[in-house]
Amino acid sequence: MTRHAFICDALRTPFGRYGGSLSSVRADDLGAVPLKALAERHPNLDWEAFGDVIYGCANQAGEDNRNVARMSLLLAGLPMSLPGSTVNRLCGSGMDAIGTAARAIKAGETELMVAGGVESMSRAPFVMPKATAAFSRQNSVEDTTIGWRFVNPAMKAAYGVDSMPATAENVATEFGISREDQDKFALASQRKTVAAQKAGLLAAEITPVTIVQKKGDALVVSQDEHPRETSLEALARLKGVVRPDGTVTAGNASGVNDGACALILAGEAAAVRQGLTPRARVVGMATAGVAPRIMGIGPAPATRKVLALTGLSLEQMDVIELNEAFAAQGLAVLRELGLRDDDPRVNPWGGAIALGHPLGASGARLVATAVNQLHHTGGRYALCTMCIGVGQGIAIVLERV
């Protein structure tokens, strides 16, 4: 008997800027927000019937240590008997969590799962290594917000340890992506996001975060903080972040952000029993490896792989959610796949350059947004794909039901 895994609901927090409104919220508390909101939205759900809660998280060096999925579900008030697992595929962690949950349902090991992800990049700690010799008087401090730390010399010698912006510069050089095209892509992301916000399209997937203040009323954060009004002229004035003459800037790269997202997945029979309405079927997921120095091209082979797995084509995709880690890699991926830079199916409500990229949550956000877009437009299939540090790509295909 063929088993299917369906996405029945999804909610996310707003995505906060680095050091912004959500920076005072611990990662485990942040991860609890969409879980608690889903529980309130489905008061009759039997949470003890769920097989697992799988959260993606890329850092896990601070308040997100000790299995943030398990901590978040307990903080959300879900049953103590409900287990939780945290997965780390860096930027692709949230999407990997969804694919893993769907596979468990398809395999018949469970009928109900929660999947998603969380990241508080504002609260990522500094860490110190242990001393390498007794009575050592030397030490170092590493920033865990993003990128390499505690570098293995063998890894550096074999593959390099380029920073994430440096990998985007590598992609821009190798695939001939101009600064002007990157800025145009970034401007389009900002404009599409602002339009989606004004139309209330993003509000449907967001649950607010309420933050108690020492004095006065609580702060309620209900909208993404990262989008900004800009222009090509303003973007063109920005200096390169890797080198002064570089093409990758703060304006054509994704943000460093805070956020969480959670989805309910169910098999068909369980959805009926629990009173859930399937919204999309998880058709398939695939991952692929590429050279770490050009990690941004990873979505291209991952997309080809998932399309071969599912027997579908790019032409059949009505929505394409491509995580915009950098405009350079986004454009390189589109061109590698034979898509136009301005294909209307790609990120119709904007992408990570405007919305931000809280690493562990972004993949789940892409899937949640894609499901909502399919229902908004009446399309059938959606592709979600993103690049991953240390040279990987991930892609998932959904079908509206």
Q: What amino acid positions are annotated as catalytic residues?
A: 91, 357, 387
Roughly what angle, to the nearest 10 degrees, separates helices 359-377 and 93-106? 60
DSSP letters spanning 193-220: HHHHHHTTTTGGGB--EEE--SSSSPEE
Residues listed for the chain: 401
CA distance 247 to 182: 8
- Do 10 and 205 meet the contact criterion of CB atoms below 8 Å apart? yes
Give the integer Cα–Cα distance in Å for 200 and 381. 23
Count the neighbouring beta carbons within 10 Å of the beta carbon of residue 95. Answer: 31
Structure tokens at 156: 């550096």
Residue 67 to residues 27, 29, 92, 301, 317, Cα–Cα distance (Å): 11, 13, 17, 31, 35
Q: How far apart are CA 69 and CA 88, in angstroms?
A: 12
Give burial (CB, 10 Å; 0-12/13-18/19+) of 142. middle
d(CA 302, CA 387): 9
The two three-digit tokens of residue 222, written as one number:
């209900």
Q: Would you say 369 and 383 are in contact if contact means Cβ atoms under 8 Å apart?
A: no
Widest CA span of the chain, in angstroms? 67
